[in-house]
Amino acid sequence: MTHTNITESTSAAMTRSEAARAPAPPAAAPERIRYVTSGWRQGLFALALLIELPFLLGILHMLLRRVLDGIWIDVPGLAVIALGLAAVAVMLALELVYSVRARVKFGRAALSYTLPRNGGPTPLLRYTRADIPYHAIKNVELRSEVFGGKLAPVVLRGLVVRTKDNREYVLGHSREGFDDPAFPYAEIGHRLAQRAALQLLDQRTVWRRTRKERALGYISEFDTNSYLMDEAETESLNTGHRRLMLGLASALAALVLLGLLADFAAAGL
């Protein structure tokens, strides 16, 4: 019995020793995640642009014929309609390009993205592509900035990545509480901070910089305070923006009402 117990103890010890020497199972590779717009969204913008273009071309043809024939009665009204339709067409085209080109990809070792170069609230035609290794990231932060200049200022929250070589990457901006479902920058920021083993810096302060200052890129810790706005300035800015939007909507409604009244008067009603 004693010999048997010794043999069993020796076998168990050898089994534990072999288990200790056995290589640990490899860690699971980080999941690859992509953020892109859906085909439905791309098709919707393309369809809207195709529907809107014939109306724009028709108005432009009517406007050109009247100018060439020297008929100036309807020219101002047609010009206003043409400008409105042209603005809508440009916005639809920009959104369509954004839907097709924009993408964010979490790889195993780096973040890759193709996004508008300006990083502002409205996508333009210039895009930039970048690859940011996770180990090179210094900070991942969400911060609010003022866009729109003095005419129509608005506060937007943006995702900013700072690397260890003091470079700043602005991925994009969105309205507070109105994230783009295709590119939820708050969610992207949290995921990126986890991949870089950092804590997401969710700043509740508001920055105000000119376009030239924003183009400088990286802002050092010593310059940060010079761009911060206090709560009173932020509330005043939001109030002014709401008043401007209400004024524009009222002016548009007044123009539509005047147009209807003119049509009724011309028809003798």
Per-residue pLDDT, 261? 74
Q: Work out the angle at residue 76's Cα, subtended by the Cα atoms of residues 73 and 77, and round it to the nearest 5 degrees.
A: 95
SS3 233: helix
CB 94 within 8 A of CB 124: yes
pLDDT of residue 205: 60
Closest CA to 119 of 171, 178, 175: 171
pLDDT at position 118 is 66
Neighbours of 44 (CB within 10 A): 15
75-101 vs 39-69: helix crossing angle, rounded to 10: 160
pLDDT in tens, the chain (269 residues): 444 444 444 454 444 444 445 444 444 556 788 999 988 999 999 999 999 898 888 888 888 888 888 877 777 878 888 888 888 899 999 999 999 999 999 999 999 999 988 666 677 888 989 999 999 999 998 887 776 666 667 777 888 899 998 888 888 887 766 778 888 888 999 999 999 999 988 776 665 655 555 544 444 444 555 556 666 666 777 777 777 778 877 877 776 677 667 667 766 65
What's the pLDDT at 152? 66
Question: Rounded to an integer, what distance in angstroms lies between the CA atom of residue 21 and that of residue 41?
Answer: 54
As a whole number of angstroms, the distance between CA 199 and CA 140 comes to 8
Q: How far is CA 77 from CA 54, 65, 74, 269, in A?
A: 18, 14, 6, 21
Question: What is the value of pTM for the model shown?
Answer: 0.68
Residue whose pair of structure tokens reads 């548009």 in the numeric block: 252
Name the nearest CA neighbour of 248 among 152, 123, 121, 147: 152
Nearest one of 158, 157, 163 to 196, comparing CA atoms: 163
Structure tokens given for 169: 């990457």
Distance of alpha carbon 90 from alpha carbon 76, whole angstroms: 21
DSSP single-letter state for residue 175:
B
CA angle (120 as vertex; 161, 53 as ends), nearest 5: 140
